[in-house]
Amino acid sequence: MLQVSLIVELQCPWLNCIKHQGKFTILQCIPRSKGVSALAKIEGPPWDSEKVTKIILKHPLVKKAKFIALTSSQFLGLVETQSCPCSLTILPNYNTLRISSEGEDKLRWTLLLDGYRSFKRLLHLLEKQGVSYKVDEIVKVKEKKFLLTPKQEEILRICLDLGFYDIPRKIELKDLAKILGISARALSERIRRAHKRLVLKAVREVESI
């Protein structure tokens, strides 16, 4: 497996509304016709969630937006667009770990690929689609250390980023499930399966000492 970071000359249109006022990370990007549905985390000045939502809804290409406050300066929300340059590329069809801003009109896409063949195919498709990019980083993930499925890793990373493991919790299971578009029961089962894999690995390592 490979973890690859690409700097791509693309920009989500609605990010222009907030990119100079704070830092953002897109945790999930799903194609929706010509647009996308994005799960985004925004860190900025002390606002309230309604203000963040209103700012983003002002963009003409945004169909829906809803943000909740994690703290006074951290917000999590879903943004659905009518069209987006990213949806016209192959990028959202890959396992996306995160997307962040990289200067003016550029995005850093961090992806998880199953090997060099997939990596070469991705670059070929980007070139075929006329997308300008730069390969910034390639990290080989060793199979023996890769315990989780890409979906499990994505869910645990989102839980971590959104403060689900913090004490006290910044977000509850039911709210997290609502954001991810699944039931609280289904999310709980997925988290427990991922935790079981990690615990079994840890126990086996202790027993082998």
In the chain, how many domains are there?
2
pLDDT of residue 84: 86
Contacts by 128-131 with C-beta closer than 8 Å and gap 24+?
129/88, 129/89, 129/90, 131/8, 131/9, 131/10, 131/89
If you search the block for the tokens 């730069």, which residue do you land on? 134
pLDDT of residue 206: 55
Do 175 and 136 share a structural domain? no
Give CA–CA dist 96/168, Å, rounded.
28
pLDDT of residue 170: 85
pLDDT of residue 173: 92
Q: Write the CATH number for 195.
A: 1.10.10
The amino acid occupying position 160 is L
Give CA–CA dist 139/95, Å, rounded.
15
Do 114 and 65 share a structural domain? yes
Could you give the angle at the alpha carbon of 151 between the alpha carbons of 73 and 1, nearest 5°? 110
Domain that holds residue 23: 2-141
Q: Coil, strand, or helix at residue 206?
A: helix
Tens-digit pLDDT profile for residues 3-61: 999 999 888 888 877 777 778 888 888 887 788 888 888 887 777 888 888 889 999 99
SS (H, E, C) 83-117: CCHHHHCCHHHCEEEEEEECCCCCEEEEEEECCHH
Do 115 and 48 share a structural domain? yes
Do 126 and 96 share a structural domain? yes
Residue 112 tokens read as 């998880």
pLDDT of residue 205: 61
Which positions of the chain have pLDDT values less than 70?
142-147, 204-209
Do 87 and 54 share a structural domain? yes
pLDDT of residue 36: 86
Do 167 and 99 share a structural domain? no
CB 46 within 8 A of CB 20: no
**Domain endpoint, select from 94, 115, 141:** 141
Do 155 and 89 share a structural domain? no
Do 133 and 59 share a structural domain? yes
Do 61 and 76 share a structural domain? yes
Do 199 and 154 share a structural domain? yes
Dmax (CA) for the chain in angstroms is 60
